[in-house]
Structure formats: structure tokens, C-alpha cells
Chains A and B, each alone.
Chain A
Amino acid sequence: MRRPVLDVSALPPIAYGSRTTIWWGVLGLIAIEGAALALTAVAALYLRQNFMTWPPYGTPPPGLAAATANVVLLALSVWPMYVADRAAQRERRLPVIIALGIACVFNVATLALRGFEFAALNCWWDDHAYGSAVWLLLGMHAAHLVASAIENVLLLALVVKGPLERKHFVDVHVNALYWYFIVAVWVPVYVLVFLAPRWS
């Protein structure tokens, strides 16, 4: 049957950025996790109203060394992730492997630092509501780091070994988007958990 058509066969089978569905999916994930983190931060500020001092008397403010080092480390980690992102968009395998590999090292290092950060909180989660709030905030961000570490390592393994398809470059690309989010939200979490207790 002859009929008017819209022939889409010349359209590309792959795209990057906001053109793709997965980019929007990751954006949805970021919105959800960002909202959860923001509400937790608001809850911490709400609980703060119940305290004469923050941290409460008898609890020293948290140590800054590990957390501040992590600010620097996470900021630096944006660079290899960005390189991997760009290389993925040009669909070049070897640069992706190298840059993503370096990003994985950064990710594992930030997790190691996170251990010291928990120790530097100078309290336990069951000491008082202050302890509960700072442990939860730091723990939520740590959960993102763990999830991302698993994702980064698996993605690296896939790019190195797996039957690589073009769509996996899109995965590397949106994985970078998620990493930028984790780095960006670390700044307010750092301010709230580590700096704010020194201001009161």
C-alpha cells in the first residue's frame, strides 16, 4: 500500500546527553537522591534547634583532616571522570579504560578516607540526636560512594573485557554524570557535618 511516511532509517542508533533516555533516567535518580539528602540535611538543622550547643556539651567538634582531604580528592577526581566522559562520547576505548581506571582509584581512596571521617566524628550514632544526624548524613553520602565504586569497577571491567557495544559508551557517559552529582553534594554535606559544628 502506498502511503505518506516519515522514514527514520537515517537517524543514528545511538546518542549522548539529554537526547538519550538513560540520561533522563539518571537525572531522575539524581533528583530522588538529591531530595533525600536535602531532606536529611533539613532534618539535621531541625534537630539542631533542640540543642543549646551543636555538638552538645561533652562532644568535641569533628576532626577536619580526613574530610577536608576528601573535598580535595573528590574535586580532583572530576578530571579523570571528565576525560573518560569525553573519550566515551568519541567512542574511544583505550582512553576510556585509562581514565576510568584512574577514576576508580580515586573512588576507592575516597572510601578509605571516609573510614577516617567516621572516626573523626568523635561520637557514636546512639550518643544523642546530634550523633544520629551526622552519622546518617555521612552514611548516606558513603552509600553513594559505595554504590558508585561498584558501578565504576563493573563498568571498567566491561569496557576492558566484555563484549563491548556502542551503548556502553553511553553508560560511561551517564555514569560520569552520576559521579559529578556525588562530588557536588559532598560540598554541602561537608559544610553541614564538619564545618557547621565549629560555628556555634
Chain B
Amino acid sequence: MSAELAVRDVDDAATRAALEVTWAPPRGVLGLLGTVNHKVVAIRYIVSAFVFFALAGVLALVMRAQLAYPEARLVGPDLYNQIFTVHGSTMMFLFAVPVMEAMGLYLVPLMVGTRNVAFPRLNAFGFWIYLIGGALLWAAFLLNVGPDAGWFAYVPLAGPDQAPGKRIDVWAQMITFTELAALVGAVELVVTTLKLRAPGMSLNRVPLFVWAMLVTAFMVIFAMPAIMVASTMLAMDRLVDTHFFNVAEGGDALLWQHLFWFFGHPEVYIIFIPATGFVSTIVQTFARRPIVGYPAMVLSLIATGFLGFGLWVHHMFATGLPSLGESFFTAASMLIAIPTGVQIFCWLATLRSGRVLVRAPLLYVLAFVATFVLGGLSGVMVASAPLDLQLHDTFFVVAHLHYVLIGGSVFPLLGALHYWLPKMSGRMPSEGLGRLTVAILFVGFQLTFFPMHQLGLAGMPRRVYTYLPETGWGPLNALSSVGAALLGVAVLLFVANVAWTLRRGARAEDDPWGADTLEWSTTSPPPAYNFVHIPVVESRHPLWTHPSPRVVTGLRIDVREVLVTDAIDAVPDHRHMLDGPTLYPFLTAMAAGIGIITAIFTPWGITVGVVLTLPPLIGWFWPAGEAIAGTTREKA
């Protein structure tokens, strides 16, 4: 049995009508809590992540207000510790990683030409567990139980002796929630990419954004277990008196740093690689030509994915490790600049040789290139162990990490949202407002963070709640705080643009930017089933090269059936039925949430969690016993 090429009468209207019924969004409570549509789940993810981004941004503004002049009294040292910890933890765990995965969960099924992610119910579960984790951290912070040992929670500062109370336990369990969600998202992205691609989309035709998400997902799968192990050990040291990090009983404080950064450094690339996917997509569309060096781009992504695991010790140069070991990590840290450099040159070559159309998303990308190159250069500086010893724990590092994370990821992300907003909402964002946002964002960013390089060189340590006037750090800090206010304005403008788009924006066509990837071949916004017909792909740029493509017929349309293809060449293999909406993933997440939060207070929380999650899990997997004999197929 195999797929057959033919020329047939295809009744689009009848197929569409049947798909509308089969994939109809659930209503009421089921619609609210039980949906498994990857687009709805992903948009909820993105909106939640942006709420956390805004909250953590407010904390940043409070910190900048406190540091604007010497000996300010806006917040005290204890609250300041909580603020910078919750700011960092929120930005890394509740915003950056989830929002990147969410963009993938929205776009990857559309870009590879299928109807949903590989495991729709698991996907919904991942979102709910993430939301509970975020709510936990912020509820604790509002109750003055916010973690206060920095986003990397170094022991012994975060250990049971130095940090009594529950603040660090909240942090450790927030990690449990977000790492679960991240791992779920990663498995979804890997399997959807490898097995649900439209026929003909062999690996050498996969869009670069999908490649980026695939590499990211693999990195999540191998990096997140490290923080899982580390945070479990920390929670156990604090709750049941194990001695993993207790030096007096043979434990080791550096073990924490090794485990944390074995996750923490790949984490940076987990946030950055999706951004390169955005950039490649936007550059290609607005240069109106295929990206220069597609194979080099893909190999660079993969190389970055591997090298990202060989750098973690460069966060630990100040811990007195053997110099020979340090020099290896210095070399690796400099090496990783090569694949990133290859990508930047490919983007520049594409722009140089293309017929460039300057639109707001491209301006975000240009802001990214300039900012990220600066951040990369300061990265090469701190990769050198002797210089790092001088700059460690100063504002120079704060400047560097914000250059690579905001410049490297948030700029492309905002550009990407502007770019895909027409697809997601069906309306066009304001170009003028977009351009204004980029300008203010760029100026505000440089004003905020460039002075921090100098502050760090002048010796200002990070994570201090104030400083003395005699240090002379006042003027540059004041400048930085003015910049932060501008950054706040830029974010407000961005939100205003989204709000304006949703209410007033002009209706978007299917492919308003003239792009080449499959998500632009369906309506804006896409229907619940994404495509009336699964497309057949014959080139790397399907919308540019064949205007009247062959389509797939013969899938069942009375159930949620998708086409599974082979992992390398996307040859059609078999048909597969996906699960529909249900409340069980939500209930399972709630039950697990109760267990994990109980585990902050007693180890019996694990038992509670297992017992509570069992009934909804059984409900989740037990078949409903629906008749499966029906075989309504699209007429072909």
C-alpha cells in the first residue's frame, strides 16, 4: 500500500465543511480549559509569557529607580534581593524559554504543513503546568516569600543554613514546573518536525526557523535534566537533610555550579537559537531572495547546539578551577563565535544581494545585528579567564548578558511578532508605530546598558541595592535609568500596536509580506485544522516556486487524522488519528501542581502528587470507546 499520484476532482467546499465540524473548537468550560488546538495553546503561552515579561520589566524599572542615584531609599536590601532574583528567574524561566517554545508550537505545525502538534493533549498539559509554576513564583513574591539568592541560586547561600524559610524552596519548585513544561514543548517540537512534515519536505527543504526550533528542542532535552537533578538535590538538602552541597559531610558547593551551568549555558542558546530562526525568516522575506548559504546556516545551528554544551565552566572562572581546564573552556567559548559569525555573514550577504524591502520587522533585525555583535564582542572578552576574573560579578557582566539576551533574543522576538501578527490575528499591525517602537527600543536599550560596561570596569558590583556618592558611579547610573524608562515606553508602544492591530488593523491577506513558507498559504488567521488540504512540497521555498501545488487527498476528515511521514525524506508513511479536546490535561496539571507545591513543605508532597494525578491520568488515556469504524474520507 502506498500513496498514489493522480489527477482528480477535488471538492474544496465539501472538505472544508467537514473539517470545520471535525475540528470545531470546543465551547464553554471545555473551550476554556480543554482545548488542544496548538494555535490557541501557543497564543495563551505567548500572552502569559508577555504578562510575566511585563511584570519582570516593572521589577527592572524599580531596580533602575533605586540605582538612579547614590544612597536611594526606595527599596531596602532584602526586597532588592528578592526583586533581582525574581526578575532574573522570571525572565529566564517564565518568559524567554516558554515564549520561544510557544512561537515554535504556533508556527512549526503550520510551517511543516500539518494540522496540529504530535501530542495535542500533552501540549495542553505543558501550558497549564507552566502557568501554575509562574503563578507560584509571583504569589510567593507578593507574600514576601520571593526567592532572594539570585536566579542561579548558588549554594551555600541558597542552602538550608544560609537561607532558612521557604524562599529558595519556592524557587526550586518553580524550576520543577517550568522544566517540565519546557521538556514537554521540546518533545512536541522534535516529533512534530521529524514525523508530521508535509510530503516532499525532506530535511534539506525544512525552513530555517523549523531547523532552529529542532536544534533548540534537542538542547532542551539534554540541558534541562541538569537543572532537574540540581534543583531536586537542592530541595532535598533543604527538606530532608541530604548533604549534596553540604561541605561538612562530603558534599560540594561547586557541584551546584557545575550542574547549574551545564544547564545554564545551553539555556542561553536555547533562547538565542530560535531568535536566529526569526532573523533568517525575516531577512529572507524582506531581502526577497533565498537565504545565502542554507547548508552553512543549518550546519551552524547544529554546531552551536553541540558547542553550547562545552562552555559551562566559563561561568566559573572565578572559582579557582585548574588553569588547564579553564583554557579549554576559553577556547570553546571563542570557538562558538565562529558558527554565529557564519550566520551573521550569511544574513548580511542575503541583504546585500537581495532586493531589500524595508519594513518594521527588518528594522528589528537590523537593531538585533548591531546590538548582538556588541554583546558577542563583550562575550569574547569575558571568555578570556584573566579578564573574566577582573570583571566577574560586576555590571560589565550585567551589560554583556543583556546585550546578548535582549539584543540577541528580544529584538528578533518583537520583530517576529510584528511579522507573524497578521497570520495570528488576521490583521496588519501599524508600520509607523512599529518603526517608532524599534527606534525608541534601540536608543533606550543602548542608553540603559552601554554605560553598564563602564560601570563594571570602574568596579561597580552587580546585585548591590545601593552605592556611595564617592564612588562616582552616580551619573552613568542616572543615564542608565533614563534609558530604562525609554525601554518601558518602547514596550508600551509595542503593546499599543498589538491592541491597535486587533481592533483597527487592516484585514491581512494570506501572504501579506510575500513570504515563501507554508504558513502563508493558508488563511489569516488559519482555521483550526490549518489547511484544507495538506500541501505537497516540491522545493525549499514552496510559495515562491510553485504557485499551483499538488495537494494530499484521502485523509479521513470525520476524525482528526494527520499524515505521518518518514523522518528524513518526508515520504508518506501512514495515517494517524490525533486526540481531541478534553479536561484531563488540565486536571492532571492541577493535581501535579498540588503535589509539587505540597513538596515545598513536606516530602509527602510527592506521594500526594502521585495519588492525585493517577485518576486524571487514567481518564486521559482510557479510551472513550468511540466507534472507530467510520471511514468518511475526502472525496478523491
The reply to whether B550 and A6 contact each other, CB–CB distance below 8 Å, is yes
Compute how far the CA of A128 lies from the CA of B250 in the bound complex, rounded to whole angstroms. Answer: 6
Q: Does A65 contact B (CB under 8 A)?
A: no
* Contact call A163/B623, Cβ cutoff below 8 A: yes
For B634, give the chain A residue with the smallest CB separation. Answer: A9
How far in angstroms is the closest Cβ of chain B from A112?
18
Minimal beta-carbon separation of A12 from chain B (angstroms): 5
Q: Is the CB of A11 within 8 A of B574?
A: yes
Chain A residue with Cβ nearest B251: A129
A58 within 8 A of B: no
The answer, yes or no, to whether B618 is at the interface (CB within 8 Å) is yes
Bound together, the chains give a CA A20 to CA B573 distance in angstroms of 9
A129–B249 contact, CB under 8 A?
Answer: yes
Q: Which of A24-32, A77-85, A99-107, A187-195 participates in binding chain B?
A: A24-32
**Closest Cβ of chain B: how far from A172's Cβ, in Å?**
13
Say yes or no: A15 contacts B259, CB within 8 Å. Answer: no
Residue of B nearest to A133 (CB): B244
Using A4-B550, A14-B574, A32-B225 as known contacts, say yes or no to A129 and B10 having CB atoms under 8 A apart: no
Which residue of A126, A162, A167 is within 8 Å of B241 (Cβ)? A126
Q: In the complex, A108→B246 CA distance in Å?
A: 36
A24 touches B195 (CB 8 A): yes
Q: Is A184 engaged at the interface, CB distance under 8 Å to the other chain?
A: no
Structural contact, B575 and A12, CB atoms closer than 8 A: yes
- A88 → B minimal CB distance (Å): 16
Task: Answer whether A3 and B550 are a contact pair too, CB < 8 Å, given A28-B187, A136-B236, A154-B621.
Answer: yes
B618 partner residues in chain A, CB cutoff 8 A: 154
Cβ distance A197 to chain B, nearest Cβ, rounded Å:
14
Tell me how far the C-beta of A32 lies from the nearest C-beta in chain B, rounded to whole angstroms: 6
Residues of B within 8 A of A22 (CB): 119
Q: Is the CB of B564 within 8 A of A20?
A: yes
A15 neighbours in B (Cβ, 8 Å): 564, 573-574
B408 to chain A, nearest CB (A): 26
- Which of B190, B550, B610 interacts with A5 by CB under 8 Å? B550
Stretch from B91-99, B321-329, B346-354, B552-560 forming part of the interface with A: B552-560
Whether, in the assembled complex, B509 has its beta carbon less than 8 Å from a beta carbon of chain A, the answer is no
Contacts of B541 in A (CB 8 A): none
In whole angstroms, how far apart are the Cα atoms of A158 and B242 in the complex?
A: 40
Evaluate whether A25 and B119 lie within 8 angstroms (CB atoms) in the complex, with A6-B551, A35-B225 already known: yes
Cβ–Cβ contact B250 & A51, under 8 A: yes
B156 at the A/B interface (Cβ < 8 Å)?
no
Decide yes or no whether A8 CB sits under 8 A from chain B: yes
Q: How many whole Å from B6's CB to the nearest CB in chain A?
A: 6
Tell me which of A36-44, A66-74, A90-98 binds B.
A36-44
For B3, the chain A residues whose CB sits under 8 A away are 6-8, 10-11
Judge whether B258 and A3 touch: CB under 8 Å: no
A199 within 8 A of B: no
Interchain nearest-CB distance for B531 vs A (Å): 13
Q: Of residues 215 to 247 in B, which have CB atoms within 8 Å of A's CB atoms?
A: 221-222, 224-226, 228-229, 232-233, 236-237, 240-244, 246
Q: Which of B103-158 contact A (CB under 8 A)?
A: 118-119, 122
**Interchain CB contact under 8 A, B243 and A132:** yes
Chain B residues whose C-beta falls within 8 Å of the C-beta of A130 in the assembled complex: 250
Question: Are B233 and A32 interface neighbours, CB within 8 A?
Answer: no
Q: Which residues of B contact A12 (CB under 8 A)?
A: 1, 574-575
B residues within 8 A CB of A63? none
B196 engages A3 (CB within 8 Å):
no
Given A7-B636, A10-B1, do A28 and B9 touch, yes or no (CB 8 Å)?
no
Q: What's the interface size class on B, roughly?
A: 35 or more
Q: How far is the CB of B289 from chain A (nearest CB, A)?
A: 28
Say whether B242 contacts A132, CB under 8 Å. Answer: yes
Take A11-B1, A35-B225, A126-B241 as given contacts and tell me if A3 and B551 are in contact as well, using a CB distance cutoff of 8 Å. Answer: yes
- Interface of B (DSSP majority class): mixed
Q: Of residues 17 to 70 in B, which have CB atoms within 8 Å of A's CB atoms?
A: none
- Is B78 an interface residue when CB atoms closer than 8 A count as contact? no
Q: In whole angstroms, how far apart are the Cα atoms of A33 and B187 in the complex? A: 13
Bound Cα distance from A59 to B44, whole angstroms: 53
Complex: A162 Cα to B626 Cα, angstroms: 12
- B228 and A129 within 8 A (CB): no
Smallest CB separation, A138 vs chain B (Å):
13
Answer whether residue A122 sits at the interface, using C-beta atoms and an 8 A cutoff: no
Chain A residue numbers with a CB within 8 Å of B122 are 25
Please tell me if the beta carbons of A8 and B555 are within 8 angstroms of each other in the complex: yes
Residue of B nearest to A40 (CB): B229
Give complex CA distance A154, B622 in Å.
9
Q: Is the CB of B572 within 8 A of A5?
A: no
Assembled-state Cα–Cα distance A154/B6 (Å): 45
Interface string of A113-154 (1 = CB under 8 A from B): 000000000000111111111011000000000100010001
Are A11 and B573 also in contact (CB < 8 A) when A5-B6, A32-B221 are?
A: yes
Alpha-carbon gap, A167 to B567, bound state (A): 20
Q: How far is the CB of A168 from chain B (nearest CB, A)?
A: 7
- Interface residue from B187, B243, B551, B636 paired with A25 (Cβ < 8 Å): B187
Answer yes or no: B471 CB below 8 A from chain A CBs. no
Q: Looking across the interface, which residue of chain B has its beta carbon closest to that of A52?
A: B250
Residue numbers in A under 8 Å from B186 (CB-CB): 28
Could you say which residues of chain B place their CB within 8 Å of the CB of A40? 229
Is B4 interfacial (CB-CB < 8 Å)?
A: yes
Partner of B12, one of A1, A28, A43, A47: A1
Give a binary string over B499-525; 1 marks a CB under 8 Å from any A CB, 0 the rest: 000000000000000000000000000
A163 to B628, CA, bound (A): 11
Q: In the docked arrangement, what's the CA distance between A3 and B11, Å?
A: 10
A171 to chain B, nearest CB (A): 8
Q: Does B625 contact A (CB under 8 A)?
A: yes
Does any Cβ of A come within 8 Å of B5's Cβ? Answer: yes
Given known A-B contacts A40-B229, A126-B242, A168 and B623 have beta carbons under 8 A apart: yes
Among B190, B249, B551, chain A packs the most CB atoms within 10 A around the CB of B249
**B358 interface residue per 8 A CB criterion:** no
Decide if B191 is an interface residue (CB 8 Å cutoff). yes
CA–CA, A150 to B610, complex, Å?
Answer: 10
CB neighbours (8 Å) of B8 from chain A are: 2-3, 5, 7
Known A5-B636, A129-B252; judge A39-B259 contact (CB<8 A): yes
Chain B contacts for A33, CB-based, 8 A = 225
| Other-chain residue from A5, A13, A39, A167 in contact with B7 (beta carbon distance below 8 A) | A5
Compute how far the CA of A130 lies from the CA of B624 in the bound complex, rounded to whole angstroms.
48
Tell yes or no: B576 within 8 A of A by CB.
yes
What are 25 inter-chain pairs, A to B, with CB distance below 8 A? Answer: A1-B9, A1-B10, A3-B548, A5-B5, A6-B4, A8-B575, A10-B1, A10-B554, A12-B1, A15-B564, A19-B564, A19-B566, A20-B576, A28-B191, A32-B224, A35-B221, A35-B222, A36-B225, A43-B244, A47-B252, A125-B242, A129-B243, A129-B251, A132-B233, A146-B610
Q: 3 closest pairs, A vs B, by CB?
A: A9-B554, A163-B625, A129-B250
Q: Which residues of A contact B (CB under 8 A)?
A: 1-15, 18-22, 24-25, 28-29, 31-33, 35-36, 39-40, 43, 46-47, 50-51, 56, 125-133, 135-136, 146, 150, 154, 158, 162-165, 167-168
